[in-house]
Amino acid sequence: MTALLSVAHLTKHFPTRHGLVRAVEDVSFDVARGETLAVVGESGCGKTTVALSLLRLLRPDGGQVSFEGVDLEGGGDKAEKAWRQRLSIVFQNPYSSLDPRMRIRSIVGEPLITAYGLRGRELTQRVVRHLGEVGLGAEHLYRFPHEFSGGQRQRIAIARALALEPKLLILDEPTAALDVSVQAQVLNLLQGLQKSMGLSYLFISHNLATVENIADRVLVMYLGRVVEEGPVSKIFTAPCHPYTRGLLDSVPSTDLRRRERFKPVRGEIPSALNPPPGCAFSPRCARAGEECRAAPPPLVPAGADRSHACLHPLSPTG
Amino acid sequence: MSDVLLDISGLHIEFPSLERTVQAVRGCDLSVFKGEVMGLVGESGSGKSMTALACLGLVPPPGRVTGSVRLDGHEVVGAPESHNRPLRGGVAAMIFQNPGKALNPFFTIGRQLTDAIAGVRRISREAAGKIAVDALSEVRIADPTQAMHKYPHQVSGGQLQRAMIAMALSCEPKLVIADEPTTALDVTIQAQVIVLLRDLARVHGLAVLFITHDLGVVGSLCDRLAVMYAGRVVESGPVDALFASPAHPYTASLLRAVPALGRGRAALTQIPGTVPNMAEPPTGCAFHPRCPQAQPRCAIDDPMGRETTDGRTVACHFPLAATANGGIAAGSPAA
């Protein structure tokens, strides 16, 4: 089985007045057809930069990205346009990602106009179809975004992302801005769409409980690098990397039996302008030794389907 | 006499406007006892932040407040400013969601802490400065003397929130009202702040009213919980009892709708519809349009909060029966 999306050694640096920020450093991953890969990590870990680099909204500084085995690089503008039809994005905040002066028909129809030049009744029919896919009726066609609730707006954003029938959807914290009672509606909708359309998802989130609910595999990032990767069921029950363990132990839970396990990681996320030498997590890590500060540990396989970047991994049996 | 520190009863907060009046809080009843951590949970627009502001007489104009809020024996609603002012900081202190906005960017953290302490406790700036350094070290800021000289933009969000907690504690209040203090923080930092608050509450015998939309945070911090919906407390009681067997359908739905770690890929039970518009709240029980158990009566008759056994209250005509193990832990979604 070849991967749908294949990313190898993706790198993105931002030069700033105060020095170079290595936002994404040597990140590699595959997304298979119909699969959900979650990218998790705290603010500043580079997860959104990865998403924007894939969409070519940012130019990566290095690495290869290929879709269905075809390399993106060197194809020129035409290839890039075709590329953007195969993957699409739903942003975090549906209050800022929908133009308040556009009606829903124009918002969802815009990609169709740009890509295929659809107009008139043909366009309306397509828009109605995509609205139907996200559970909205044709009566909404000529309304403005302010007439909708947060959950409905996120449905509209999803309909717009589906308009060009992409194979991969990037979801950048799609439920973080929604009311808790509405989040489940959007998560269930996304799972239903995946089943019926065979979509792949790249699900970016800092909410581990949501990731466990929706994702097949997970990529844990810390300060621009991948620290652990593998199936959610294995990583969440028996993480190898101390940072993953720390993240999981930091999640507050309604399960009161977990109150004992609730144990925060010490220290703070270091500045990306001045990262610690070696493993970026070493200053906060209880297991770190001298060798951890020498060089960033490479990502090494741990079993058939997972890998981690730690010199002193926790035993995968827990 | 009693150990009730904060007693809210029949609180109403309205915001009149030209077209229609927004009823932010519609008969909120809530009490916080000495030394307990009380969680107040609700979605945006449920009135939880307005309730918190009303505790200190801080509801902004043109808000109209009626009902009663008794803070350590003092009636706050309708009291003159000169009466409420000494309560702020000294009796009850507040921690806001976004420490970057709560602090003034033009002054150092030390200056702002010193000003607050000197003003509330009526002591010299020199003495206040010493207390400020102690307070900063108590919230585990690594180098408190140095932190005093820093401006808010020079420290991280987690450190700023610690400084806010230090400011709140420095005047030795009996109650701390924390309005979503961890929402803007990363999970590992959120966990640190939760553990800090938990420890401080224990050490100082402090009562905390902790406002959040995250039931998980309640589960890791609070002793008791009150759930707000559409401007009213629909259910309250000890956290363990409420989580094990929620009596109000809203609490039960919320617990099943929010993903929780350790539950795998179990389907989430979705709550249909959206949070009501408080300019036109539904008739009867505000939750009835979204409620799986709703009966005709629920659309007409507004249920009042009723005491049940073991210190719980519920505002529902048809509360869910308490079952020993039929709670959310079993995770059985309603068909």
**Structure confidence by residue, pLDDT tens digits, A45-70:** 999 999 999 988 898 999 999 888 88
Give B322's pLDDT tier (boundaries 50, 70, 90).
Answer: low
CB A72 within 8 A of CB A63: no
A258 touches chain B (CB under 8 A): yes
Please give the pLDDT value at position B314.
94
Reduced to 3 states (helix: H, G, I; strand: E, B; else coil), residue A89 is strand
Residue B334 pLDDT greater than 50, yes or no:
no
Measure the CA dihedral A40/A44/A50/A55, to 10°.
120
Determine the average pLDDT of the residues in A23-34: 94
Residue B78 pLDDT class (50, 70, 90 cuts) = very high
* Angle CA B163–B200–B236, to nearest 5: 110
Residue B95 has pLDDT above 90, yes or no: yes
Read off the pLDDT of residues A88-137 as tens digits, 9 standing for 90 and up.
999 999 999 999 999 999 999 999 999 999 999 999 999 999 999 999 99
Reply yes or no on whether the pLDDT at A318 is more than 50: no
| Mean pLDDT for the stretch of residues A286-310 | 93
pLDDT, average across residues B79-88: 91
- How does residue A261 score in pLDDT terms, banded at 50, 70 and 90? confident
Instruction: Kindly report which listed range (A72-76, A88-92, B134-138) carries the lowest average pLDDT score.
Output: A72-76
* ipTM score assigned to the predicted complex: 0.85
Average pLDDT of the segment spanning B53-59:
93
For the record, the structure tokens of A149 come out as 């609730």
| Residue A15: predicted pLDDT | 93
Whether B222 contacts B39, CB under 8 Å = yes
Residues 6+ apart with CB under 8 A from A15: A21
Cα–Cα distance measured from residue B43 to residue B54, given in angstroms and rounded to the nearest whole number: 18
The answer to whether A170 and A54 are in contact (CB under 8 A) is: yes
Neighbours of B148 (CB within 10 A): 20
The helix or strand, by DSSP H or E, that contains position A129, with its residue range, turns out to be: helix A120-133
Q: How confident is the model at residue B335 (pLDDT cuts 50, 70, 90)?
A: very low
**Closest chain A residue to B327, measured at CA:** A255
The Cα–Cα gap between A194 and A216 comes to 12
What pLDDT, on a 0 to 100 scale, did the predictor assign at position B165?
93
Return all residues near B143 (Cβ < 8 A) that are at least 6 apart: none
Using the predicted structure, report yes or no on whether residue B328 has a pLDDT greater than 60.
Answer: no
> Distance between CA A252 and CA A209 in Å, rounded?
10
Of A64-68, A72-76, B161-165, B207-211, minimum mean pLDDT range: A72-76
Could you tell me whether strands A87-90 and A5-16 are parallel, antiparallel, or unpaired per DSSP bridges? unpaired
Q: At what angle do helices A150-162 and A120-133 cross, to 10 degrees?
A: 120
Evaluate whether B281 touches B260 at the Cβ level (below 8 Å).
no
- Point out the residue among B43, B217, B220 whose CB comes nearest to the CB of A181: B43
Which of A205-209, A254-258, B189-193, B207-211 has the largest mean confidence?
A: B207-211
pLDDT band at B308 (very low <50, low <70, confident <90, very high): confident
Please indicate whether, in this complex, the C-beta atoms of B255 and A254 are within 8 angstroms of each other: yes
The DSSP output letter for A283 is G
Answer whether A216 touches B (CB < 8 Å).
no
Q: Which residues, numbered 120 to 179 in chain B, qualify as contacts with chain A under a Cβ-Cβ cut-off of 8 Å?
A: 156, 158-159
| For range A231-238, the mean pLDDT | 94
To the nearest whole percent, how much of chain B has pLDDT over 70? 95
Q: Are B135 and B196 in contact (CB under 8 A)?
A: no
Q: Which residue carries 């109209």 as its tokens? A: B64
Residue of B160, B162, B187, B242 for testing the chain A interface, max A β-carbons within 10 Å: B187
Are B61 and B46 in contact, with CB atoms under 8 Å apart?
Answer: no
* Mean pLDDT on B142-150: 92
pLDDT tens readout for residues B272-302: 888 888 888 899 999 999 999 999 999 999 9
Residues 6+ apart with CB under 8 A from A306: A228, A229, A230, A231, A234, A235, A240, A316
| Cα distance from N-terminal residue to C-terminal residue, chain B | 49
User: Cβ contact (<8 Å) for A180 and B214?
Assistant: yes
The span from the first CA to the last CA of chain A, in angstroms, equals 31
> Once rounded to an integer, what is the mean pLDDT over residues B314-328?
70
pLDDT above 90 (res B113): yes
Whether pLDDT at A232 is above 90: yes
* Closest alpha carbon to B292 in B266, B313, B271, B267: B271
Interface of A with B in 118-157 (CB under 8 A): 149-152
Please report which confidence band the pLDDT of residue B323 belongs to, taking 50, 70 and 90 as the band edges.
low
* Mean pLDDT of all residues in A171-192: 90
For the stretch A133-164, pLDDT in tens is 999 999 999 999 999 989 999 999 999 999 99
User: Which structure tokens are listed for B71?
Assistant: 């803070």
Burial of B137 from C-beta contacts in 10 A (0-12 / 13-18 / 19+): middle
pLDDT of residue A284: 93
- The pLDDT value recorded for residue B327 is 41
B242 SS3 class:
helix
Helix ranges restricted to H, chain B = 48-55, 81-84, 99-102, 109-121, 125-138, 144-148, 157-170, 187-204, 215-221, 239-244, 249-257
Q: Name the average pLDDT for chain B.
A: 89
Note which residues in 36-65 of chain B have CB less than 8 A from chain A: 43-44
Provide the pLDDT for residue B68: 95
The residue whose two tokens read 């350790």 is B262
* Better pLDDT: A94 or B329: A94
Q: CA of B259 to nearest chain A CA: how many angstroms apart? A: 5
According to the model, what pLDDT value does residue A258 have? 79
Q: What is the C-alpha separation between A137 and B281, in angstroms, rounded? A: 25
For B45: left if phi > 0, alpha if psi spans -120 to 50, otherwise beta; the answer is: left
Smallest Cα distance from A176 to chain B, Å: 11
pLDDT band at B157 (very low <50, low <70, confident <90, very high): confident
Within 8 A of A236 by CB-CB distance, chain B residues are 261
For the four alpha carbons of A17, A23, A25 and A28, in that order, the dihedral sign comes to negative
Give the separation between CA A251 and CA A239, rounded to whole angstroms. 14
Q: Would you list the DSSP string of A147-185?
A: GS-HHHHHHHHHHHHHTT--SEEEEESTTTTS-HHHHHH
Question: Nearest Cα to B108, choosing from B158, B145, B157?
Answer: B145
Contact B44 A179 (CB under 8 A): yes
Among A158, A201, A162, which Cα is nearest to A5's?
A: A201
Average pLDDT over residues B38-63: 92
**d(C-alpha B285, C-alpha B280), whole Å:** 13
Lowest average pLDDT, out of A284-293, A304-313, B179-188, B235-244, goes to B179-188
B163 pLDDT band, cuts 50/70/90, is very high
Radius of gyration over alpha carbons of chain B, in Å? 21
B257 vs A68, A181, A188, A290, CA distance in Å?
Answer: 36, 7, 10, 46
